[in-house]
Amino acid sequence: MTAPSAPAAGRMAAVNEMTRLLRLLFEVEREFVRTASTLVPRVGEPELKYLVCQHVWESAGHARFLRERGRELTTFGATDAVRDSLRRIFAEAAGTAAADPLVIAAGFYGVLQPALLAAYRHYLRVTDPLADWPSKKLVEEFIRDGERQQREIAPYLRGVDAQAWSAHLAEALGELGGWLGQEPRRPLPAGYAWSHERTPYTHPATCNRRPYPVCSSVFGFDPQQDPIIRPWLTDPQTDARVIRLMVYVWLMMEMDAIDYLATVFIETPGAPFDLHYDLARHLWDESRHSQFGFRQLPKLGVDLQTVEHSLDLYHILIQMPPHERYAMMTMEFEANSFPTKATVMDRVRELNDFEADTLLAFDRNDEQNHVRYGHRWLPEMMALFGETRPVEEFVQATREKFTALAKIHGGQVPHSLPASRRLTGEKIRQLAGVA
């Protein structure tokens, strides 16, 4: 493809300039998805985890619409690549696993996102509102999303001392003159050090669940010790009210899924954007499923401070590379959950609980989509890591590896609460009114 002649380029100068800005905005939104997702396993409050998952999904949507609009114009580019000058700022913002997660969150939401809002507002000032009406309407909507996200995140960052870290990120961004280069560029101060070059981001060894109690697993066989009794889920003699409570605990524990799925984004910088887009949807879906349980259990009399959070899956899967994590999630855990969940859904329908039926139906629909994602993207993710075995062979080997790692890294988290205080199968029977 040859470059356009000078007169032709001049004729399209207005379009080319707006396309250049749209391309930068796409890359910024894409990198927010890839790096802000690292907050999920690091922050403890479930509501904050859920919020970050929602924002990551919304940013993925912004990026996708920007790309679609950009491709309607000339010179947007055919690839999804992100330039190094942007990527290194987001790598810096991700910080290290040892850093205070709320300080890191303040960097994303107190520096990078306000700068993105400023970039969107600049776009509206410099484009023609009629000629570029499609872009204008998108940008106006994204500004509203960003302003709402700022309001949503504010309560969690109140009182967090992030002044030094925010100033550090602002200096890095100042060298670019803002995301669109719309402001005067400020050279980096003498001695400025990129912390991610000294200490690259690594995932935390354990996921943060404070202020809630934790354990290795909520699944078991002892009603005096465990809340989800595996045989009870499919035993026709189990009261449907007991099954409903147990499945809400199961759904709430899909927080495991958001913690370990969120780790995949930053480790796959070379993935196509569409892969990250589907991962972001997957992440948001699992977040909603966890919220199903988190919000319904208190309505049925459960004190959430008595529900221990299971950590085994994170501890085992974090020992595996991203393509193996993703294979276990989509081709093992989700693909094999349908028979049990079908039985559970049929039993819960006995209660004429429309809300429960609705939540479980959407959970099943979403999980079917996730398995489809696995079939679509696992081969490409394998290729990113040089894995050349047939998919079936790779998945079977990954199952065996998981089993071996579980013997080492599973079952290592003692109960935070004594059996007398934590939610167990017997206590679920009592709450359900079953003698």
The residue type of 371 is V
Delimit the domains of the chain by residue range.
Answer: 15-182, 214-431
Give pLDDT tens digits along the chain (435 positions): 445 556 666 878 889 999 999 999 999 999 999 999 999 999 999 999 999 999 999 999 999 999 999 999 989 999 999 999 999 999 999 988 668 999 999 999 999 999 999 999 999 999 999 999 999 999 999 999 999 999 999 999 999 999 999 999 999 999 999 999 999 999 999 999 999 999 999 999 999 999 999 999 999 999 999 999 999 999 999 999 999 999 999 999 999 999 999 999 999 999 999 999 999 999 999 999 999 999 999 999 999 999 999 999 999 999 999 999 999 999 999 999 999 999 999 999 999 999 999 999 999 999 999 999 999 999 999 999 999 999 999 999 999 999 999 999 999 999 999 999 999 999 999 999 996
Rounded distance between C-alpha atoms, residue 93 and residue 196, angstroms:
9
**Residue 162 burial class via C-beta count within 10 angstroms: exposed 0-12, middle 13-18, buried 19 and up:** buried
Report the top-level CATH class of 214-431. mainly alpha
Please name which of 229, 209, 233, 231 lies closest in space to residue 218, comparing C-alpha atoms: 229
Q: What is the DSSP string of 197-260?
A: HHS-----SS---TTS-EES-SEES-TTT-SEEHHHHH-TTS-HHHHHHHHHHHHHTTHHHHHH
228 phi and psi, to 5 degrees?
-105, 110
The residue type of 397 is A
74 neighbors 12 (Cβ within 8 angstroms): yes
Rounded distance between C-alpha atoms, residue 395 and residue 416, angstroms:
34
358 neighbors 289 (Cβ within 8 angstroms): no
- According to DSSP, the residues that pair with 219 across neighbouring strands are 228
110-125-123 Cα angle (round to 5): 60
Q: Which residues, 6+ apart, have CB-to-CB distance to 389 below 8 Å?
A: 382, 397
User: Tell me: the pLDDT tens digits for 4-62?
Assistant: 556 666 878 889 999 999 999 999 999 999 999 999 999 999 999 999 999 999 999 99
SS3 359: helix
Report the Cα–Cα distance between both ends of the chain, in Å, rounded: 77
User: Against a cut of 0.85, is the pTM above it?
Assistant: yes
32 neighbors 53 (Cβ within 8 angstroms): no
> Which CATH homologous superfamily contains domain 15-182?
Heme oxygenase-like (1.20.910.10)
Dihedral, CA of residue 365, residue 368, residue 372 and residue 375, to nearest 10: 170
Rounded distance between C-alpha atoms, residue 279 and residue 87, angstroms:
19
CA distances from 376 to 7, 267, 371, 391 (A): 44, 19, 9, 11
Dihedral, CA of residue 293, residue 299, residue 305 and residue 311, to nearest 10: -10
Two tokens, residue 44: 């403890």
What single-letter DSSP state applies at residue 189?
P
Please name which of 390, 216, 398 lies closest in space to residue 319, comparing C-alpha atoms: 398
CA distances from 337 to 70, 153, 169, 344 (A): 40, 34, 43, 11
User: Tell me: the pLDDT tens digits for 169-192?
Assistant: 999 999 999 999 999 999 999 999
The residue type of 188 is L
CA distances from 389 to 133, 385, 398 (A): 49, 12, 11
Three-class SS of 278-335: HHHHHHHHHHHHHHHHHHHHHHCCCCHHHCCEECHHHHHHCCCCHHHHHHHHHHHHHC
